Amino acid sequence: MMPRERLTAKEVEVANYVWQGLTNREIGKLMSTTEQVIKNHLRSIFDKVGVWSRLELAMYVASHGGKEWAEGFERTAFGLGRAVAS
């Protein structure tokens, strides 16, 4: 399983916003949540993808397709994400 496939839909959304250069505060406002929740998502993303920083995460997303990286990912009824075959 690829690291991206381990991420939830919200984690993919957060990673995409990081790639776009948004701050935790800006991401929190867009997702209607707190900065602490965003930090928790980032910690989980870092562990699953194998990176240590926001910069490394942004580079990971960029090297795996950038904007298209988050496409093809849908939410299930339980709010968890799953990759959709193209």
* Residue-wise pLDDT tens digits, 32-66: 999 999 999 999 999 999 999 999 999 999 988 87
Q: Is there a contact between 74 and 82 (Cβ–Cβ < 8 Å)?
A: yes
Ranking 8-12, 39-43, 54-58, 77-81 by mean pLDDT, the lowest is 77-81
pTM of structure:
0.78
- CATH topology for the 3-83 domain: Arc Repressor Mutant, subunit A (1.10.10)
Exposure letters 48-68 (e unless 16+ CB within 10 A, then b): bbebeebeebbebbeebeeee
Domain coordinates in residue numbering, the chain: 3-83
